[in-house]
Structure 1
């Protein structure tokens, strides 16, 4: 069986992989929702959904550093990685242990492509198709609620010290647009560092502080309120803007609650 990953690398398997190590939290959750929980043998410390999973599976490290010996001991048939979440050096080391499937998700189309790939790779195609259809249904339902609303210009902070924001070539930017927002940093690449003195910030109707990867809290809202007293500032659920896969089922209902 030949399977391509999202970097167009060809992987070969004699049979459906039965032992999976997942090094991407959103992909781990996706596997569980595709009915593959029992096949998962290793996960990262950041794989927090479902909540009980870290007590049931072997934690092999984080998304940037892992314990190679521990992963080798799990005898995985496949290791699931992501182009952005995991480092190139780590992937090269892991290739000595098992085939590596690398995802590269930047919009819904590539997300649905990944779900389809997992459906074929792990022999759960029907569940994958159903999941995609359900996400599309939630999205369509949401789109009907915002069709007449005026879009707000926003900046989406992902980090503090230094301040970093979501640029245009990111999945977050795609989801901001899908949620009905205009990202004022959409002309910048990846996750640029910015100063609170940046002129672009004056154009923002609303400042969004992501709950991850930096855990922005209400105290940070208050700090920025002192600097931008006339702007709307709020903490938003970062998972629902940045996690692709089955978490998208919750993203669109959540977007309905945002101003």
Structure 2
């Protein structure tokens, strides 16, 4: 599931029961209903951190889930009390001599010590962006799910984005914590602020906003030149994709975010915008960011392609083979004819790697538009490869994979 779906605490005692997960953000909330069945296939953006979090909760020791939530609440209250005793000016901890006052992307006023020498990231997409800006050496901590680039896995981990360890963050003495509106809970932000730790939140909702967010973060961290060069390169690559696809009709697709129930992407999300830029048109036109779709509706809409974002090829092979055996899904021409497009998880993160995912999808949908230029994608370290799909006799879709696990 995309990195900005925000689960919360509710769970029911049976692994066959419905699970209600609340989505929280810094400013709004909505409910997402996940039906956990023992035989379900995970065709979500499976390595995105929220899928792993929800799957672990769904198939784990659910009879004790309520107890765990209660313990977390008690621990949070205890930590808040301790924080009041331990809070001290950040200048005393970091040696920063001055602060600047800025508004973050959610409209919050934040006072940030200057220069920013020590950073903690609360989201995989933030971590990727920091490394892309060339300030990865200043990153002193990130989440348990930050694994791209590989250097991110060697940083101190502060827990998950949903429930980060506030005490562990404080122990790293950060000048700045970078969060993202759709992932991180207000409680986490407020707890850090009470400790005198500056928290800057990003909030990109379109591909263009991902670029501007990257450039703004570069300016804030004293990497303005690197940010401008990076964003200029990304815009050039997007422009080249647009030039190659100009005049070609968009192809109808279904982005499979979750399988049981079917969850896809709605309007006004960076992922829906990414699909459009790659020459795809989602058959789901919903004002909800991540709508739950009835399978009968999908059958009626008959998308030309099913799109899955997953870096685990063996898992994809296994799951698509099982999907092909499901009677309801076999009513889709895309399933019967094996029209699956398997992308890397770059497309699921609102970071500079999103452009990699757009290029991958455009290549898969319109191979003839890119066939003459095998070196089109900017990262020369990755070679063209084919993603094998289980039980498919037709040629596999190929694309250039330009990133590793997110």
Tell me the TM-score normalized by structure 1. 0.90
In structure 2, the residue matched to 1:194 is: 293
Greater Cα offset, 119-128 or 13-22: 13-22
In structure 2, the residue matched to 1:170 is: 269
Structural RMSD (CA): 2.2
Aligned length: 257
Q: Measure the CA separation in 1 of the matches of 2:361 and 2:260.
A: 28
| C-alpha spacing 1:155/1:34, structure 2 compared with 1 (3 Å) | same
In structure 1, the residue matched to 2:143 is: 44
Q: Does 1:91 find its partner at 2:197?
A: no
Q: 2:344, 2:357 within 8 Å by CA — same for their partners in 1? A: no
In structure 1, the residue matched to 2:253 is: 154
How many angstroms does 1:31 deviate by? Answer: 0.8
Greater Cα offset, 221-230 or 93-102: 221-230
Question: Cα deviations across residues 36-71 of structure 1 (Å, max 9, x unaligned)?
Answer: 11110110121111113212x101111211111111
Q: Measure the CA separation in 1 of the matches of 2:138 and 2:112.
A: 16
* Structure 1: gaps spanning 5 or more residues: none
Matched position secondary structure for 1:155: strand
| C-alpha spacing 1:175/1:257, structure 2 compared with 1 (3 Å) | same
Q: Does 1:258 find its partner at 2:364?
A: yes
Out of 107, 128, 131, the residue aligned to residue 32 of structure 1 is: 131
How many angstroms does 1:152 deviate by? Answer: 1.0
How many angstroms does 1:179 deviate by? Answer: 0.7
Q: 2:121, 2:141 within 8 Å by CA — same for their partners in 1? A: yes
Tell me the TM-score normalized by structure 2. 0.59
| C-alpha spacing 1:109/1:202, structure 2 compared with 1 (3 Å) | closer
Q: Measure the CA separation in 1 of the matches of 2:113 and 2:267.
A: 40
Kindly name which structure, 1 or 2, has the bigger radius of gyration based on alpha carbons.
Answer: 2
Q: Does 1:234 find its partner at 2:234?
A: no
Matched position secondary structure for 1:197: helix
Q: Measure the CA separation in 2 of the matches of 1:199 and 1:13.
A: 48
Greater Cα offset, 126-135 or 154-163: 154-163
Out of 124, 127, 130, the residue aligned to residue 229 of structure 2 is: 130
In structure 1, the residue matched to 2:180 is: 82
Q: 2:104, 2:110 within 8 Å by CA — same for their partners in 1? A: yes
Q: 2:133, 2:227 within 8 Å by CA — same for their partners in 1? A: yes
| C-alpha spacing 1:188/1:249, structure 2 compared with 1 (3 Å) | closer
How many angstroms does 1:8 deviate by? Answer: 1.4
* Structure 2: gaps spanning 5 or more residues: 1-99, 366-406
